Amino acid sequence: MSREVDVSIIIPTYNRKEELKQLLAALREQTLSQKAFELIIVDDGSNDSTPEFLQREKERGSLSFAAQLHRGPGAARNEGMKLARGEIFVFTDTDCIPHRHWLESLLRPFEDETAGAAGGPEIPDTDASFLPRCFQFVMTSPLTTGGLRGAKKRIARYYPRTFNMAISRKAYEKVGGFREWYHGEDVEMSFRIRQAGFKLLYCEDAKVYHRRSATFSQFFFQLLRMGEARWLLFRTHRKLMEPLFLVPPAAITMLVVLFVLSPLFSIAFYLLRVLISFGVLYLVIIGFAAWAKLKSAKALFFAPLAFVVQQAGYGVGVLLGVVKNR
């Protein structure tokens, strides 16, 4: 693959051959000319048949392929950027399916020479089963902490994330690569890019379908890991400690304290009742919002439950992060 390219698409993978096949098929359907971009897949120590599949694809000339010991997605993306020849580095994950116009749209923000990184939205897969669509709702709705960031600064600042992200070579050369974390490394790098004086831009038209967890337990542990990563981000850059992200751990702590104290103090019992009443009302609002969005009466029950799991997983994750990384 000696031709000149403008864009390098870098994808880390670990035991995800079937997902990778679907992603590669979607990338071949992009409206941006195939001559304008190269594909670089970095295998992060897969122990299934992924390496053999990638070797065959490399021999066909459809992509570049590198392998490393299992060190996580941050390290894999760094390896990909060392091999990349493009002026723009584009990232997505194997659990994503880009829209046909994704690449064309994601590159437009870089017409601004001060752009350092850009990202776009994750959109629900209407063919997915009900629970993943329900999880998608609570992760992206403006009624939840996950949805209170985006194109416009609402309560939390927007940072591009690697399921749908592009950075300029100039930004990479100035700030360096990703930290070798398993979660949160994209937010940390976006923060450094902004601190270096580059713009972080949001492109509404650069859409990817992002697969969600299929069970409540998977969803909980995904959020748990995200919560732990959030505390690591706080410790690394104090300016990333935005009040919104402290709401779930603060609410969990308050509930536990009030529950313990309520048999002893009437004021604690009163405050616990108020907090629970407010919580129930909010869950009802989420249920009706999900019903309207998902067009299913099941959402009246499952969306509030998913919201509780989301907040509990994330909040407990942050608290675990505090204990592990004091």
The answer to whether residue 137 scores a pLDDT higher than 80 is: yes
CB 54 within 8 A of CB 68: no
Q: How far apart are the first and last CA of the chain?
A: 47
Q: Strand 122-123 and strand 37-44: pairing? A: unpaired
Give tens-digit pLDDT for 174-210.
999 999 888 899 999 999 999 999 999 999 999 999 8
The answer to whether residue 1 scores a pLDDT higher than 80 is: no
R_g over Cα of the chain: 21
- How many whole angstroms separate alpha carbon 203 and alpha carbon 165? 10
Q: 112 by DSSP, 3-state: which?
A: coil
Q: Which of 154, 88, 96 is nearest to 118 (CA)?
A: 88
Give tens-digit pLDDT for 139-163.
888 887 665 554 444 556 889 999 9
Residue 303, token pair as written in the block: 């969306």
Does the domain spanning 7-120+160-212 belong to CATH 3.30.750.24? no
Output the CA–CA distances (angstroms, integers) from residue 177 to 19, 35, 120, 151, 278, in the order listed: 25, 26, 21, 24, 44
Whole-model pTM: value is 0.88
- How many whole angstroms separate alpha carbon 13 and alpha carbon 76? 8
- Interhelix angle 216-236/299-324, rounded to 10 degrees, is 40
Choice between 125 and 71, residue whose per-residue pLDDT is larger? 71
Q: How confident is the model at residue 118 (pLDDT cuts 50, 70, 90)?
A: very high
Domain boundaries, the chain: 7-120+160-212, 129-149+213-326
Question: Mean of the per-residue pLDDT values for the chain?
Answer: 90
Give tens-digit pLDDT for 205-235.
999 998 888 899 999 999 999 999 989 898 8
The answer to whether residue 5 scores a pLDDT higher than 50 is: yes
